[in-house]
Amino acid sequence: MRPENTSTGKGEIAADLLAILCCPETKQEVCLLDQTIVERLNKRISKGELKTKGGRPVTEQIDGGLLRTDRTVAYPIRDQIPIMLIEEGIILEKSDLSSI
């Protein structure tokens, strides 16, 4: 039996996986980023404007993301794999999420 997906495309992850994931730093719940937000973040990545929690610039485009409940950090999804490492979390600004 194949698990149900929560979205389509490279940024998708199985619903049963999403249900058990949480922020590795704070243990807050996470939810999928809207595709509009993913596109906005990718534009900022192209411009070198985003940093990780580890202090490094984000240089690789994301296919999707998991947004922490407090809306300050997103964990990237690349090739359907959520990168749930504290130092890889992308630090967000309020303007990144203005449409949600």
pLDDT digits (tens, 9 = 90+) for 32-80: 999 999 999 999 999 999 999 999 999 999 999 999 999 999 999 999 9
CA angle 73, 75, 80 (to 5 degrees): 155
Residue type for position 11: G
Residue 1 has pLDDT above 60, yes or no: no
Would you say residue 32 lies in a domain?
Answer: yes
Q: What is the pTM of this model?
A: 0.86
Would you say residue 2 lies in a domain?
Answer: no
Would you say residue 56 lies in a domain?
Answer: yes
Using pLDDT thresholds of 50, 70 and 90, give the confidence band for residue 99: low
* Span 9-20, average pLDDT: 84
Structural domain for 26, as ranges: 15-97
Query: Which region, left, alpha or beta, applies to residue 81 given φ > 0 means left and ψ of -120 to 50 means alpha?
Result: beta
| Tokens found for residue 96 | 């990144």
Would you say residue 90 lies in a domain?
Answer: yes
